[in-house]
Amino acid sequence: MISKKLQRARDFEKKYLRYTEEEQPGFHVTGGIGWINDPNGFAPYQGEYHLFFQYYPYDTKWGPMHWGHVKTRDFIKWERLPAALAPDSEYDRDGCFSGGAVELPDGRHLLMYTGVRNVRRRNGKLQAFQTQCIAIGDGVDYEKLAANPVIDAELLPEGGSTEDFRDPKIWREGDKYYAVIGNRSADGSGTILLYESDDAMHWRYVSVLSACHNQYGRMWECPDFFHLDEKDVLITSPQEMSAIGLEFHPGNANVCLVGHFDPNIHHLNREWVQAIDYGLDFYAPQTLLTSDGRRVMIGWMQNWETSSCKPQELRFMGQMTLPRELSIRNRRLYQNPVRELEKYRGVKIDYYNVLINGETSLRGISGRSLDMTVTVRPGNESSMYKWFRLYVARDGEHFTMIRFRPDTSTIKVDRTHSGFPHDIVNIREFPACVHNGELKLRVIMDRYSLELFVNDGESAASFVLYTPADASAISFTSEGAVLVDVEKYDLEMD
């Protein structure tokens, strides 16, 4: 049964989505219209990959959360499906918050999400109650369980908050189902709780998989937990993070904790903690396992702090990153664009060993929908260059600048001149080093974004840009001589 609230959202989509087609990016997911935040339910279902997202169709601001819905076969071309969930039940009347999805053995599609109900206290304050709920469907229409919520305060460990208890990520392993859920513990900071079930409907509390202890931010949102290249990886998005060197920026951040899961105490023993993405716009990532065994991650390419900042005329707010393949190498989480992107590469223009010392542009190297790799080496044996800069999305007024300095081993990205009519943070600096004297920058650009992958995925950084589409010049400059290779493909979606 489609509730009135869900029907209203679907009717709204039917009526208005067609007017926003012209505004859309080429290959990054948006809600089409209205607001989106976190990716939800990113999982395979019946031979395709489904993606849901936090969604408020009626405005470009956050509102009572629905789940929007798209699906894909190759992570690049997405098909839009009607809104899947609306906050239409007593236990989720104030929002269907983030969650995950899994295919059941009988072919049904199970969505697990956080139902939010706010209650006004005597002192006038709103108190939230967050519980975990289920909806089951066929890939288009979903029915909420009569037994909802399936995980509530009774299944919390002692001291666990009922107000901050959200974002279940569910998966199946053998004949059992597991879920990790973010919670706030008695010390005021985040924990990731592990739950277990035989049928995905009836759940048992297992353990605290990992706890923040006020070290990496406060509340931990949107967890995901998976095995990757002999390690166990927990990813989460901390709120109220304090900056730590150039590794973690303040505010709503993203971290991954890598180590080994101890099956006796159901706890993750950490070996290291690192940022997942160093850009200005990345939060709440989720992963899935593809049919050919790849762990693929997608994130919300936005920052909560700047989520009211966009050109006024745009009728959508929020995009997802390009899906990325994850791996572990040299004690780091690596990420690279999904290989399917390569099918959309058009003509290649390349240059090798170009000597740059001062400002240069190269014939044919320009564009705004592109996949470009720039490799930089010292151009002079006796003296090291001071810095190298790559300018993209450039015209007389605009540019986005990527700068590498070998002496400080840092990359700085500056999008001050990239179309934001707002006074916001526009610069990010992060660690990066050379390998065998070389630095490799892979830049993926779409209409409103730049994603940077350094040294074959050693680090990644995502940025929203609102630079006018015809600002498409690219140039290179350095202080001191460098030798540069450039390989550029236009990305062609038709």
**Nearest approach, Cβ of residue 309 and ligand FRU (Å):** 16
For residue 457, what are the contacts with CB-CB under 8 A and spacing of at least 6? 324, 327, 334, 335, 336
Number of residues in contact with ligand FRU under rule CB under 6 A: 13
Output 237 or 472, the one with its CB closest to ligand FRU.
237
Say whether residue 88 binds ligand FRU (CB under 6 A): no
**Catalytic residue of the set 11, 38, 224, 262:** 38
**Nearest approach, Cβ of residue 197 and ligand FRU (Å):** 21
Output 26 or 299, the one with its CB closest to ligand FRU.
299
Say whether residue 284 binds ligand FRU (CB under 6 A): yes
Output 212 or 483, the one with its CB closest to ligand FRU.
212
**Nearest approach, Cβ of residue 278 and ligand FRU (Å):** 19
Residue where the block lists tokens 């004297």: 437
Say whether residue 98 binds ligand FRU (CB under 6 A): yes
Say whether residue 85 binds ligand FRU (CB under 6 A): no
Contact between 214 and 187 under an 8 Å Cβ cutoff? The reply is: yes
Say whether residue 89 binds ligand FRU (CB under 6 A): no
Say whether residue 166 binds ligand FRU (CB under 6 A): yes
Output 36 or 484, the one with its CB closest to ligand FRU.
36
| Options 65, 370, 461, 465; binder of ligand FRU; rule CB under 6 A | 65
Output 38 or 232, the one with its CB closest to ligand FRU.
38
Say whether residue 114 binds ligand FRU (CB under 6 A): yes
| Options 167, 277, 340, 371; binder of ligand FRU; rule CB under 6 A | 167
Output 134 or 439, the one with its CB closest to ligand FRU.
134
In the shown chain, the binding pattern of residues 221 to 260 toward ligand FRU, with x for contact by CB under 6 A and - for none, equals: xx--------------------------------------
Contact between 324 and 296 under an 8 Å Cβ cutoff? The reply is: yes
Say whether residue 335 binds ligand FRU (CB under 6 A): no
Say whether residue 97 binds ligand FRU (CB under 6 A): yes
Residues 3-42 that bind ligand FRU (CB under 6 A): 37-38
Output 194 or 390, the one with its CB closest to ligand FRU.
194
**Nearest approach, Cβ of residue 109 and ligand FRU (Å):** 20
Say whether residue 420 binds ligand FRU (CB under 6 A): no
**Nearest approach, Cβ of residue 222 and ligand FRU (Å):** 5
Say whether residue 54 binds ligand FRU (CB under 6 A): yes
**Nearest approach, Cβ of residue 116 and ligand FRU (Å):** 8
Output 55 or 463, the one with its CB closest to ligand FRU.
55
For residue 254, what are the contacts with CB-CB under 8 A and spacing of at least 6? 235, 236, 237, 238, 275, 276, 277, 282, 283, 284, 285, 299
Specify whether 485 is catalytic: no
Contact between 249 and 429 under an 8 Å Cβ cutoff? The reply is: no
**Nearest approach, Cβ of residue 286 and ligand FRU (Å):** 11
- State in Å, rounded, how far the first CA of the chain is from the last one: 37
**Nearest approach, Cβ of residue 284 and ligand FRU (Å):** 5
Positions annotated as catalytic residues are 38
Query: Contact positions toward ligand FRU, by CB under 6 A?
Result: 37-38, 54, 65, 97-98, 114, 166-167, 221-222, 283-284
